[in-house]
Structure 1
Amino acid sequence: MFLSTVEKQLDAKRRLLIPQDFRTSENGAEHAIFVFPSIEADCLEAGGDPLFATYVEMIRSLPFGSEQRSALEWQVLGEQTRLTFDGGGRVTLPESLIQDAGLGETVVIVGLGDRFQIWNREAWVARRAERRQMARSGVAELGALRLAAQLKVEGGGS
């Protein structure tokens, strides 16, 4: 799994050191990663072979010729770049991907389980605050639903 959040420097040659924990055979990213502009946010999405397989399965589950399938094919397959690691565990990001995500010298790599994202630091700070608030609201809502269900069971189902 891709876990944790780390800040890294993008060097003058557009090379980025991917954390060693992210370069494993278990997550399919031992030798290379797949990178493309994220569908959900202004960042890059990346991962190993299992992530790619998940997207391919999702695409194949949609009817051929549908708008949704075409959009996913375009975004995930057409925009994707496979990047191999150099001897130091770095990848060289294409300029087009750097521009798409608005990456600067300092980037943030965020592990999300089966994938990870590469963010412009300032954009990540804003997104982090938004996601933290959303998570708090979600946990509070889930707690309220559980309490209501428990009270219903204890009260005899009424």
Structure 2
Amino acid sequence: MFRGVNAISLDAKGRLAIPSRYREVLSSHCNGSLVATIDTEEPCLLIYPIDEWEEIQAKIEALPSFNPVARRIQRLLIGHATDLEIDGSGRVLIPPLLRDYAGLEKKVILLGQGKKFELWSELRWSERRDAYLAEASQGSEMPDELQSLSL
């Protein structure tokens, strides 16, 4: 559903203009209701259409809360989950605490990831992308599931 890399500017209030190519899909798919939360592995945000998020949240809530790792994931992902609404101008307001976590300033990257988006600071994404490319050129171990793909 969502793919591609989009360089976008946050405005002074922390609003992000959703690229027009995604707006119609988001409007029909989830009526413009999104959820943003932190990525626990990288300094970026994950942005889901509400229906996709509700499936994930149900799975996270079903994890055993007496397991320390599961509890940590519950606290971080659900605890930071924030509802976002696309306004009449096609923008969403990214709350300050989430912007701080991901180091989002004026220039950001909205990265389509199938059923969700990742939102990165432009600088952090460039650094991470370059690191990924360097790892690939060094012949990192590829999971068996990917070895059968033909690009």
Specify the TM-score bucket, using the shorter chain as the normaliser: 0.7 to 0.9
Q: Structure 2 vs 1, CA of residues 8 and 58 (structure 1 numbering), >3 Å: closer, same or farther? A: same
Q: 1:9 to 1:26 in 2, by over 3 A?
A: closer
Name 1:100's counterpart in structure 2: 101
The DSSP-based 3-state class of the residue aligned with 2:3 is coil
Aligned residue in 2 for 1:67? 68
The equivalent of 1:84 in structure 2 is 85
| Cα distance change on mapping 1:18 and 1:135 into 2, 3 Å | farther
**d(CA) in 2 for partners of 1:80, 1:30:** 18
RMSD: 2.5
Q: Is the 8 A contact 1:3 1:112 kept in 2?
A: yes
Gaps of 5+ in 2: none
Structure 1: distance between partners of 2:124 and 2:141: 24
Please say if residues 102 and 121 of structure 2, whose CA atoms lie closer than 8 Å, have aligned partners that are also in contact.
Answer: yes
Q: Which runs of 5+ in 1 are unaligned?
A: 147-158
Identify if the C-alpha distance between structure 1 residues 21 and 76 changes in structure 2 by more than 3 Å, giving closer, same or farther: farther
User: Is the strand fraction higher in 1 or 2?
Assistant: 2
Q: What secondary structure does 1:8 align onto?
A: strand
Q: Provide the C-alpha distance between the structure 2 equivalents of 1:77 and 1:140, rounded to a whole number of angstroms.
A: 31
Q: Which amino acid aligns with 1:98?
A: R
Q: CA deviation at 1:130?
A: 1.9
Asked if the contact 1:32/1:48 (under 8 Å) is kept, the reply is yes
Q: How many residue pairs were aligned?
A: 144
CA distance in 1, matches of 2:63, 2:7: 37
Whole-angstrom CA distance in 2 between matches of 1:15 and 1:74: 26
Residue type at the aligned position of 1:9: S
Instruction: Give the TM-score, by structure 1 length.
Output: 0.78
Which protein has the larger Cα radius of gyration, Structure 1 or Structure 2? 1
